[in-house]
Amino acid sequence: MIAEYDARLWYDQIPLRRSVRAYDSRKVPDDTLDRLRPFLSGFSGLCRGARGVLLDDAGDVFTGIIASLGRITGVSTVAVFIGDTSVPEHMESVGYLGEGVILQATSLGLGTCWVAGTFNRNCTASRVKLGKNEKVVAVTPLGFPVEKEDAGHRLVRSLANSKKRKPLEAIFGGLPPEKWPPGCREALEAARLAPSALNRQPWFFEVTHGEITLSVQGAGSGYGSLKRLDCGIAMLHFEVAAKALGLEGHWELLKPPHVARFILHESGSGISQARG
Ligand SMILES: Cc1cc2nc3c(=O)[nH]c(=O)nc-3n(C[C@H](O)[C@H](O)[C@H](O)COP(=O)(O)O)c2cc1C
């Protein structure tokens, strides 16, 4: 379970976080990184099958033809997110753990950007010690954003359509909002703001009495898919909001095409008010 202090801190970061691709080359101080490190090995049972590693020199992580498409510049520190493929839900875990790390970094004044495509994967893998079933899933730069992005970075941002999100009505089904327990709307709103690869927002929430079921929208919902990583990020957002707002419950993982179900605890969840 996420600690209540972290949930409150991270909930406040959700509207502040955005993908940053242009950094000012300053090194991240060690004492700042020390406040990030504890989260890299996991902060909840849902992190099983995922871990993060810091590289204090980005080296060739953001060089090469593919990497140039994402134009990550001026960064020195990188967090590498690793999944254990022997755990079927490793992509959900990487999304969940990684987003905790990213919101913690945001709270420390650092810029971040999930990168699962436009980086040099082979070079990154050669710089971390991988276990037998482990693979590098994604990375994020960590650093201080430049004050003003150049035209190239602005172009990447607009191509990524970064600011747009689907309306809430497009991502939930089941009970109408007036029957939801207190805090449920805000938790879904927090999930709605989650970042996703190509900003495709592949999540759908079915709200019923006592639980909220998360599924992948569209094709490609199988274990190991990038859409399940996106859903892991949305799970983290939903849970921190729920915890910060007193909507008590916990996630239980489900098989594809579902991802997980958030089971509301009776005490303090307002379920009894919502029923009937
Ligand atoms: C799993 C994942 C993978 C991503 N991969 C890349 C990438 O390879 N290159 C890139 O420039 N941005 C990448 N992004 C960033 C998304 O484009 C960005 O999160 C999305 O457009 C929403 O914008 P925002 O993060 O500013 O809210 C990725 C995001 C996620 C969640």
In this model, does residue 229 exceed pLDDT 90? yes
DSSP-derived 3-state class of residue 44: coil
pLDDT digits (tens, 9 = 90+) for 39-55: 999 999 999 999 999 99
End-to-end Cα, the chain, rounded Å: 30
Residue nearest to atom 23 of ligand 1 (CA): 162
Q: What is the pTM of this model?
A: 0.95
pLDDT digits (tens, 9 = 90+) for 188-206: 999 999 999 999 999 999 9
In this model, does residue 244 exceed pLDDT 60? yes
Distance (Å, whole) CA 27 – CA 117: 24
Least confident of 64-73, 96-105, 170-179, 259-268: 64-73
Q: Is the distance from CB of 166 to CB of 201 less than 8 angstroms? A: yes
Per-residue pLDDT, averaged over 213-235, amounts to 96
Which ligand 1 atom is at minimum distance from the Cα of 195?
A: 19
In this model, does residue 276 exceed pLDDT 70? no
**Distances, alpha carbon 210 to alpha carbons 117, 175, 213, 242, 246, in Å:** 37, 11, 10, 14, 15
Q: Which domains does the chain have, with CATH numbers?
A: 4-159 (3.40.109.10), 168-274 (3.40.109.30)
- Distance from the alpha carbon of residue 78 to the mean position of ligand 1, in angstroms: 15
Which ligand 1 atom is at minimum distance from the Cα of 160?
A: 21
- Distance from the alpha carbon of residue 170 to the mean position of ligand 1, in angstroms: 21
Mutate to test the pocket of ligand 1, among 106, 112, 199, 229 (most ligand atoms within 8 A of CB): 199
The binding-site residues of ligand 1, defined as CB within 6 angstroms of any ligand atom, are: 18-19, 70, 113-118, 138, 160, 162, 195-197, 199, 226, 229-230, 233
Which ligand 1 atom is at minimum distance from the Cα of 71?
A: 11
Q: Residues of 186-224 as b/e, b for ≥16 C-beta within 10 angstroms?
A: bbbbbbbebbbbeeebbbbbebeebebbbbbbeeebeee
- Beta pairing, strands 203-208 & 172-174: parallel
Summary mean pLDDT of the chain: 93
In this model, does residue 274 exceed pLDDT 50? no
In this model, does residue 174 exceed pLDDT 70? yes
| DSSP structural state of residue 131 | -
- Distance from the alpha carbon of residue 227 to the mean position of ligand 1, in angstroms: 12
Spell out the residues 6+ positions from residue 30 whose beta carbon is closer than 8 angstroms to its own: none
For residue 240, which of 122, 232, 123 has the smallest C-alpha distance? 232
Which ligand 1 atom is at minimum distance from the Cα of 229?
A: 1
